[in-house]
């Protein structure tokens, strides 16, 4: 009866929201000062212009809030007749020319009267390559008045005009229509370029409507009075199947100050013995202990054989919907049915990546098959009359590869099959080529956050996995502690509809206490902040629908 009462409370209190910040092209927070990381992050210059990332501009008394961060790009012109800078993008983004804006901050220290031309190059014929003979460039000329200090520029895309008549004359940037290739700023005044000038740019982004701000131009909009976020964790202790040890291990990081998780996250695969026969079922006893110890269990059901020999045949989406694992799912559901409490179950997670056998890229690039398999598994639970499970549908924060067929909403199973929508958001996990990556929480997650809160406003949004690595020896730039602080700022402002933050306490560099500074950042910015709710007593009334 108590649980049912809690569920009723969430139904009454959950309020839909319309997100506004839509996509973040660059906030420069992952860069070290100087020019060494410019090219590797897609930044380029041309003509009589040079660029470097700089933090000194924010060390001279400027307000350090939300969107401003601590980094900006410094652009210097030297005597010449032509020049500018830009960023390579090459992404499918759903931009609406009728209501979206492009935004950036600009600071011109020496005062000037000039103009800059802003260009967006797009893909008209969907051939993945920009050519003047086939594609459009959309341009807007912005006058710069003679004044000093930071200014927020927010320009409606409707003001951009077709500057390359060889294209089709239609704004084609979308998940199905074509990629946005490049963002370019060109200094058009020869008299301006004849002298030396210094300008700073920051937080280049797209938004639905004008970029919203708080008390200053750098402040993201504050959360609503009834917004909140609960906390959870996974740790390697869960691999021993004594799932309550996850909470014990994570909470022990913060003794004697204290921490109390709301959600304990653990994984259950088809098998862990190195074979390719499904035989790994949930333990009713151990899951009940998690509940008895005062936590909500969240189980990720992984549809593959862990530790299988290289080259061993793994399940795919076709084998699932063709019924090859019906008995396994049926018995799995039967076990969960006996648990004395409600369980979150996440299936087919990170389907828009390229690392699991159930990912779209490995199943004929067919997102509809992901949705079909999701529904198929849940129908087996329903046939077994399982009523104590809430199902989680969880894309990765960014699609890999980023192609039109890998759009997350094409894999959505439907409202009748999803209780929670979710994201996994990591900083510095690396890419397929082993490149060093560093992205702010906001930059990594805001695109799909916008999609989920706009298109599925009645579904509570949770983060099932998040973490950041520490900086490598000799690597400069924002620290992990600073990343954690900016993460909590994003969640308390323009990502404030996130209802659960689950830290993935894996490996030394990703552990929340990988350094004293990182541990203190989590403690001060999460555990000591009333916005982040601790304990199971908060989880049920605030999360369950």
* Residue pLDDT, tens place only, 243-277: 999 999 999 999 888 889 999 999 988 877 776 77
Instruction: Quote the domain boundaries for residue 118.
Output: 21-208
| Distance (Å, whole) CA 164 – CA 186 | 16
3-state secondary structure of 251: helix
Q: Are 84 and 146 in contact (CB under 8 A)?
A: no
| Terminal C-alpha separation, the chain | 15
**pLDDT value for 196:** 87
Identify the band that residue 472 occupies on the pLDDT scale cut at 50, 70 and 90. Answer: confident
Residues 328 and 391 in one domain: yes
Strands 150-156 and 100-108 turn out to be: antiparallel
Taking the C-alpha atoms of residue 232 and residue 528, their distance in angstroms, rounded to an integer, is 15
- Please report the pLDDT score of residue 64 as a whole number: 62
| Predicted confidence band of residue 207 (pLDDT cuts 50, 70, 90) | very high
Q: Determine which of 14-28, 186-200, 348-362, 386-400 has the lowest per-residue pLDDT on average.
A: 14-28
| Residue 34, both tokens | 């100087």
In a domain, 218, yes or no: no
pLDDT at 502 over 80: yes
For residues 346 and 485, membership in a common domain is answered with: yes
Residues 197 and 329 in one domain: no
Q: Give the rounded distance of the alpha carbon of 316 from its chain centre.
A: 26
Same domain for 204 and 227? no
Q: Assess if residue 214 is contained within a domain.
A: no
In the predicted model, what is the mean pLDDT of the chain?
A: 88
pLDDT, mean of residues 99-112: 86
Confidence at residue 110, expressed as pLDDT on a 0 to 100 scale: 66
Last residue of a domain, one of 208, 238, 273: 208
Instruction: Tell me which H or E stretch contains 197.
Output: strand 197-208
What CATH number is attached to the domain comprising 360?
3.20.20.80
pLDDT exceeding 70 applies to what percent of the chain? 91
- Sign of the alpha-carbon dihedral angle for 125, 131, 135, 139: positive
Q: Are the CB atoms for 135 and 121 separated by under 8 Å?
A: yes
Given a contact cutoff of 8 angstroms between Cβ atoms, the answer to whether 533 and 540 are in contact is no
Predicted confidence at residue 514, as pLDDT, reads 96
Q: Distance (Å, rounded) from C-alpha 306 to C-alpha 12?
A: 41
Please count the structural domains in the chain: 2
Is residue 350 domain-shared with residue 479, that is, in the same domain?
Answer: yes
**Residue 16: its pLDDT value, please?**
44
What 8-state DSSP symbol labels residue 174?
A: B
| pLDDT band (50, 70, 90) for residue 197 | confident
Which helix H or strand E contains 208, and what residues bound it?
strand 197-208
Is residue 543 over pLDDT 80? no
Specify whether 334 is located in the same domain as 443. yes
Which of 244, 251, 294, 283 shows the shortest CA–CA distance to 540? 294
The average pLDDT across 160-181 equals 93
pLDDT digits (tens, 9 = 90+) for 10-27: 333 444 445 489 999 999
% of the chain with per-residue pLDDT over 90: 69
CA distance 249 to 236: 9
Closest CA to 298 of 143, 424, 406, 180: 424
């Amino acid at each position: 009866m108590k649980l049912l009462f809690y569920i009723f409370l969430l139904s009454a209190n959950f309020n839909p929201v319309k997100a506004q910040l839509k996509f973040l092209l660059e906030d420069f927070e992952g860069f070290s000062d100087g020019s060494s990381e410019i090219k590797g992050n897609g930044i380029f210059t041309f003509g009589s212009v040079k660029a470097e990332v700089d933090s000194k501009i924010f060390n001279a008394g400027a307000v350090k809030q939300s969107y401003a961060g601590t980094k900006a790009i410094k652009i210097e012109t030297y005597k010449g007749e032509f020049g500018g800078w830009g960023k390579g993008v090459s992404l499918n983004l759903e931009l609406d020319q009728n209501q979206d804006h492009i935004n950036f901050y600009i600071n011109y220290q020496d005062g000037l009267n000039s103009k800059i031309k802003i260009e967006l190059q797009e893909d008209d014929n969907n051939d993945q390559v920009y050519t003047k003979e086939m594609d459009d460039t959309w341009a807007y000329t912005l006058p710069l008045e003679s004044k000093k200090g930071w200014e927020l520029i927010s320009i409606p895309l409707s003001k951009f005009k077709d500057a390359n008549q060889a294209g089709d004359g239609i704004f084609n940037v979308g998940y199905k229509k074509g990629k946005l290739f490049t963002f370019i700023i060109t200094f058009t005044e020869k008299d301006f370029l004849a002298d030396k000038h210094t300008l700073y740019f920051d937080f280049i982004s797209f938004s639905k409507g004008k970029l919203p701000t708080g008390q200053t131009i750098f402040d993201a909009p504050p959360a609503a009075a009834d917004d909140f976020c609960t906390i959870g964790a996974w740790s390697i202790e869960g691999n021993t199947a004594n799932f309550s040890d996850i909470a014990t291990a994570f909470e022990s990081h913060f003794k004697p100050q204290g921490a109390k998780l709301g959600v304990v996250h653990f994984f259950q695969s088809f098998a862990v013995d190195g074979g390719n026969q499904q035989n790994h079922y949930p333990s009713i006893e151990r899951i009940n202990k998690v509940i008895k110890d005062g936590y909500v269990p969240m189980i990720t059901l992984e549809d593959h054989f862990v530790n299988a020999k290289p080259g061993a045949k793994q399940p795919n989406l076709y084998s699932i919907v063709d019924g090859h694992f019906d008995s396994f799912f049926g018995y799995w559901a039967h076990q969960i049915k006996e648990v004395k409490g409600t369980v979150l179950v996440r299936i087919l997670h990170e389907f828009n990546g390229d690392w699991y056998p159930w990912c779209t890229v490995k199943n004929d690039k067919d997102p509809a098959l992901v949705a079909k398999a999701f529904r198929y598994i849940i129908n087996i639970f329903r046939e077994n009359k399982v009523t104590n499970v809430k199902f989680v549908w969880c894309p990765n924060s960014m699609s890999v590869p980023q192609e039109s067929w890998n759009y997350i909403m094409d894999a959505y199973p439907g409202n009748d099959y999803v209780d929670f929508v979710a994201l996994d958001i990591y900083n510095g996990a690396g890419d397929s080529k082993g490149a060093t990556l560093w992205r702010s929480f906001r930059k990594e997650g805001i695109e799909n956050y916008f999609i989920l809160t706009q298109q599925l406003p009645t579904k509570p949004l949770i983060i099932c996995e998040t973490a950041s690595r520490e900086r490598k020896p000799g690597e400069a730039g924002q620290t992990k502690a600073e990343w954690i602080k900016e993460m909590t700022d994003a969640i308390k402002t323009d990502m404030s509809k996130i209802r659960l933050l689950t830290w993935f306490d894996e490996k030394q560099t990703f552990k929340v206490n990988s350094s004293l500074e990182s541990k203190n950042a989590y403690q001060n910015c999460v555990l000591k902040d009333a916005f982040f709710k601790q304990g199971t007593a908060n989880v049920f009334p605030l999360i369950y629908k």
